[in-house]
Amino acid sequence: MWPRIDGLRSLALGTPGELRARLNSLVLAGAKTATAGLTDEYAEEGEELEHVGERLALVDDHDAPVGVVEVTGVDVVRFADVPWDFARAEGEGDRSIEEWRAGHAAYWARVGTPVTDDSRIVCVRFRLG
């Protein structure tokens, strides 16, 4: 299970360190309003998907809260079918869906969960709350 903070599920973006700090700063600045995960990660952790209206505690490397976001949308799609408007909402500077896919495929491969076109991706949209 993911940590709970004041009754809220935690949202730990990326991997601890520089990446998480950068992603959290993008959320807090309002530039990042979406994040992608793998359905396999939810299954491994015994977690249900987020739901619209759910509030999540955005956490730092030590699971300390740095903000709260409210989920505004959740979709599950094939990796090959993630739409550009979602990728752009991730706010990470990708200039095309191909660049987004390459970056995310490389990230998941680095953390030991390589993806294929058919991998199921959870596309979560949120707003800073």
Please write the tens of the pLDDT for every residue from 37-59. 999 999 999 999 999 999 999 99
Question: CA angle, corner 86, sides to 51 and 117, nearest 5?
Answer: 95
pLDDT exceeds 90 at position 3: no
Question: Which residues have a Cβ under 8 Å from the Cβ of 40 and sit 6 or more positions away?
Answer: 113, 119, 120
What integer pLDDT is reported at residue 92 of this predicted model? 96
pLDDT exceeds 90 at position 100: yes
Q: Taking the model in full, what pTM does it have?
A: 0.95
In CATH, what class is 4-128? alpha beta
pLDDT exceeds 90 at position 20: yes
The full set of domain ranges for the chain reads: 4-128
Residues 14-37: what's their mean pLDDT? 97
* Strand, coil or helix: 33: coil
What integer pLDDT is reported at residue 1 of this predicted model? 82
Please provide the average confidence, as pLDDT, over all residues in the chain. Answer: 96
Cα Dmax for the chain:
38
Q: Tell me the CA distances in angstroms from 110 to 1, 15, 28, 106, 129, one per residue in order.
A: 22, 10, 26, 6, 31
